[in-house]
Amino acid sequence: MPPTAGRLSQDNHSRDSAGLTYVYPVISRRAGGISIGINLNPNNACNWRCIYCQVPDLKRGVAPAIDLIKLEQELRAFLYELLFGNFMLESVPLEARVIKDIALSGNGEPTSAREFEQIIEIIGRTKADFPLPEKLKLVLITNGSLINRVAVQKGLRRMAELNGEVWFKLDSVTQAGHLHINNTQASLQRMRDNLRTAASLCPIWLQTCVFKLNGAHPNKAETDAYICFVRTLLLEGTRIQGVLLYTLARPALQPEATILSKADPDWIEAFADKIRALGIQVKTTA
Ligand code: SF4
C-alpha cells in the first residue's frame, strides 16, 4: 500500500491524506512526531456541534457502520509502509520521524461507532504484530458523552491494557457555556458521571479548548466554575492525569467562525497556573 501523501507538515491534518477510509497520518505538535489517526466518522457526523469545530461539512449524527475488515487491512498496511516502506523518508520531515501514538480522532465522535469495543481489539492485535515503540500510546479523543454505554466502557478497559489514554473534552462546566460552546443538551451531571466512569477505567486527561468570543476571553464566572469543578473531582479521588489546555490552531468551519479568535498566550498561562495550583499537571499549547 503506497500512501499517496505528499510531504506532510503540521498543517496537514487532512483525514484523506493517505487515500484511505479510516487511517490517516498526521504530524502532531501535541505528540511531537507522527500520529497514526483512525477516523471512525468518514461521514463527518458528530452528536455535538462545537462552535470551533474544524470538521468540514459537519453534520449531526453518529458514525456509520464500520467495515472492520477494511479498517484492520488499512491499519496493517499503513503500519507496514510506515515501518518498512518509504513513507517516512518521502513524506515526513526529518525531525518528526518517530511514531508517537495511535489516535482515535476523526471527523466526529469516535465512541458513537457501535463497533467501538471490537475496534479496540483490532488495534490491540495489530499493534502486537509490529515492532512498534514499547511506549506507543493509544489515545481516544472524545467528547465523553457516550461513556455510559457498556460497549464503550469495555473498550476503555481494554485500552488501559494497551497503554491507552482518554482525552476527555471539557470546555465549559456551566450549563450555559456547555450549551453555547458544544451545542449539546447533555446535563452537567451526565458529563461528571461519564468523566468519573472513564477515569475509573483508563488513564484520563481533560482537554479544554479556550478562545475569545467576540474578542473576550472566558469570564471569571466561567473560569471559577472550571477550577471549582476540577477541585471537586480531585477531592473526591477521581484520578486525572492532567489538563491539556489549548486554543484554536486552525479556523473553525462553523457559522460562528467569524466571532472566534485565539486566546492570548498570557491568558492561557495565567489560567494554566490557576489549574496547576490545584496540584494537577497542565500542558498548554498556545
Ligand atoms: S466533539 Fe469534536 S468532532 Fe464533535 S463537534 Fe465537537 S469538536 Fe467537532
Residue-wise pLDDT for 197-211, tens only, equals 999 999 999 999 999
For the cut 50, the answer to whether the pLDDT of residue 11 exceeds it is no
Instruction: Calculate how far, in angstroms, residue 109's C-alpha sits from the geometric centre of ligand 1.
Output: 7
User: Residue 7's pLDDT is what?
Assistant: 40
CA–CA distances in Å: residue 271 to residues 223, 246, 279: 8, 11, 14
In this model, does residue 10 exceed pLDDT 60?
A: no
Q: What is the pLDDT of residue 33?
A: 84
Give the residue whose CA is nearest to atom 8 of ligand 1: 53
Q: Residue 78 pLDDT > 50, yes or no? A: yes
Say if ligand 1 is within 6 A of residue 109 CB: yes
Tens of pLDDT, residue by residue over 46-77, are 999 999 999 999 999 999 999 999 999 999 99
63 lines ligand 1 (CB under 6 A): no
The secondary structure of 133-200 as a DSSP string is -TT-EEEEEE--TTTTSHHHHHHHHHHHHTTEEEEEE-S--SHHHHHHHH-----HHHHHHHHHHHHH
Give yes or no for residue 14 having a pLDDT over 80: no
Does the Cβ of 61 fall within 6 Å of ligand 1?
no
Looking at residue 1, its pLDDT comes to 29
Average pLDDT estimate for 2-23: 55
User: 140: CA distance to ligand 1 center in Å?
Assistant: 13
Confidence at residue 97, expressed as pLDDT on a 0 to 100 scale = 85
The Cα 124–Cα 131 span in angstroms is 13
pLDDT in tens, 113-167: 999 999 999 999 999 999 998 889 999 999 999 999 999 999 999 999 999 999 9
Q: Is the CB of 50 under 6 A from ligand 1?
A: yes
Residue whose CA is at the smallest distance from ligand 1 atom 5:
49
Domains of the chain in start order, with CATH, are 23-284 (3.20.20.70)
For the segment 173-183, the average pLDDT, to the nearest whole number, is 94
Rounded mean pLDDT of the chain?
A: 91
pTM here is 0.92
Compute, in angstroms, the gap from residue 51 CA to the centroid of ligand 1: 9
**To test the ligand 1 pocket, which listed residue (13, 47, 53) has its Cβ within 8 A of the most ligand atoms?**
53
Distance in angstroms (rounded) separating the CA atoms of residues 223 and 243: 14
Residue whose Cα lies nearest atom 2 of ligand 1: it is 108
